[in-house]
Chain A
Amino acid sequence: MDFATFLQISDTALRFATPLLLACLAGLFSERAGIFDIGLEGKMLMAAMSAGAVAAVTGSVWLGLIAAILGSLLFAAVHGIASITFRGNQLIAGVALNFVASGITVLIAESMFGQGGRTPPLEGAARFANIDLPLAETLRAVPILGPFYAEVISGHTILVYVALALVPISWWVLYRTRFGLRLRAVGENPASVDTAGISVVRLRFSAVIIAGILCGLAGAYMSTGLQAGFGREMTAGRGYIALAALIFAKWRPWQALWATLLFGFLQALALRPDVVESMTRVAIPVPFLDALPYILTVIVLAGFVGKAIPPRAGGEPYVKER
């Protein structure tokens, strides 16, 4: 692989990593608060459709973004009501919402646009524009780093940079603020929070809502940044891959960044069987490359890259005990 190809694949990797990162951080907040969220996939899908549809109708990507967040929040609220208020099974609630999302996005898109469950192609102000970072062209002359800056770092949509900025912000919120302390406590031992006189329900709902907003960003990026419009099942399991990345990252923000970049890179490679073939000198079937991120996820989950200890109270509805 020559340097130009490497830059090209890295650039694609960063694009692919962005929705994974946003979803992964969403899962991070939710699971750190003790709510397992297998519904990342559904929330992203709902957000992607909402963004695509509203951007297509209004021509404004920003309205699309708001719609994406609202769509995702609606699902997050249902997840919260089922798993926090009514102490239902968090996994089943997530799975159910993924199915609902899978169907309802097509239903809505079809009834609005009649294009087989897709939203119309977006262009202009209905999509997020790529931003050239300052000095990108000036610094291009610097060997290695210059082109890397210009080709890989620069030239993405605002959501890519938002996602990257959210990594240190999430770290700061979790480890340096009162809210973060309480959030982590409620995922480890909700009774400690409850006996301190803080509402477990409110804290967990805040976490679920944050997850909803972040999934909204992830979905919006899918349909208005990465692609130009919504297509059925366009998230293609990214919500689950984000969960695997979260486990890989051991529920920590910076590690989440590295994990999602790795998965993004694999997805980018799957698009370039020619590069893989030239590197491995074997013809690798395209379906195998497509399956690679899923296979890697299984390997990560199998703990071949270190054992991960999830938040202790994760997945358990909190019931007051005497």
Chain B
Amino acid sequence: MGEPLVLKDHSGESQIFFERAIIGFLVLIALMLFLLGRLFHLQIIQHDMYATLADQNRIQVEAIPPVRGLIYDRHGEIIAHNMPSLNLTIIKEVSPDIDLTLSNIDDLIGLSAEEQQAFRRRLERRQRPYEPVPVIFRLSAEDHARIVVNKNILPGVQVEATLIRHYPQGSLLAHAVGSVRRINENDAKRLDRVAYSGTNHVGKIGVEKHYESILLGKVGHKRVETNARGVVMKELDSVDPEVGTDLTLHIDAALQRVSSAALAERRGTIVAIEPSTGGILALVSKPSYDPNLFVTGIDHETYSQLLESVDVPLFNRALQGQYEPGSTIKPLLGIAGLVTGTISPDDVISDPGWFRLPNEDRLYRDWNWRLSDTGGHGEVGLQKAIYRSCNVYFYDLAVKLGINRIHQYLDLFGFGKNTALDLPEARSGLLPSVEWKNENRGLAWFPGDTVNIGIGQGDMLVTPLQLATAVTLIANRGRWVAPRMLKSGYVLDEDRNNKDIDVVPDYIWDEIISAMEKVVHRGDQELGENGTAWAYIGKDIPYRMAGKSGTAQVVNIKQGKEYDENELSERQRKHAWFIAFAPVEEPKIALAVLVENGGGGSEVAAPVAREILDYYLKRKTH
């Protein structure tokens, strides 16, 4: 010890330490209480908030899609059902190199650039990590096998079975029933996210669209516990989905097949209605398309072909096609004339083959008038005017009725408005009036406009469905039934706006129906006295049918010219109409047939109508 001895103040040092230790102890107690306070705050005061956060962390809800309701025809034949389909999916987290995986899939079974893009979009929209994202829908058995065999080079790739909408009738009922399509981004904005979670499709057209909410069913869900990486650890609880409601339609698939076959390869449309119910038995629009193409996502090429075809197969002629009604309007004008007392059944006019308004030069021709100034129907009363389809009689009647009364009576039959109950694509057509012309054309109504309306030409437009509805009303003698698809499975909302046509007394119905019968059945008479359709369909008909032909011009025939089929290209030819119901005594079916650019109604459209009626009336079950 080289240092000098230092005398330490032991007592003093002990005292200093004691003080400091006690101060330290007090600080320690204070900090302990501070920690306790903090934990109390988190665990007791904020407990509810953090408990919720913890649950949100771990609990994920997975949707279980409901099974969509089936659609049957009136005899229980399946129209739309759900088929198991194999989807190829990828779990991103398990597939370290998505690009490589996609290119491997491409090598094995082919994967278009479009499909890859769609997959990437879906990948961005997925809800949680580890969620399988579909790459290919409806894997074929062969492709499935290839995928399974090469599983080792496809990390994260899975094949999942789901149910997918399928229309076993293919193109037959595409326009009648509509279809579901894949939910696109616009749909996603509009649709309820919860109800459609786990569902890839939504009814976009027709019955599938109108009854979407009840066909869909109710989504189920299971709550699963996932860890921080999103891997499902266990299922906590689940709510089963509710199956969608099955629907039975009035559609008669067999009749639809016969109707479609009757049109053969011609463009055209047929709407057949059961008069007692308004139920649509057949709704054909040709050409058609396979709705199944749209369920899985149609490829670009096929879609543009469908879209750009001059035959517009995607266009529903029966509901959206708006045509001039032509002579099919005549029985209705006859009713208006009789009810208003403008004419009586016995009034007769003389038909020189043309009609001319007072103080006008223009000639309104009859259909059998020639430039040589031959033709005309001679002495014509109402009955003959209908079964011979005399234009001049109705030119005259239309002028006498005036546009306002024509509008009033045609309105009773549902023209110019959409009366369909569950056909979302149905259009209103056009029933012209003085107000309409003023508003839309800025022009006054001319007497000549009225003349044209007399034979269903000019501005008036109807859909085949509207014309079928009108003939149904004649068959029902004025009792209103709105056209409908749904037969059973759900309660239909009836339209209370349509009132029965009770201004027409029975004898007038008899008069008109009898005239329409003669269109088909009056035969073996001298030239110019047979019903217009008799020669084509009436000679061997075993039941009583009431009908009326019509021919709608596609191009105007100039003054001083004749309609010559050979001069016009195929698509400029007249549309052939035929409306009918049968049997006359107790109508079971009413229909409207249109053959686009077909030519004369009696010659072209009437045989189609008869083929359908023959089949339907011969069959025992309806």
A binds B: no
Binding site for B on A (CB under 8 A): none
Binding site for A on B (CB under 8 A): none
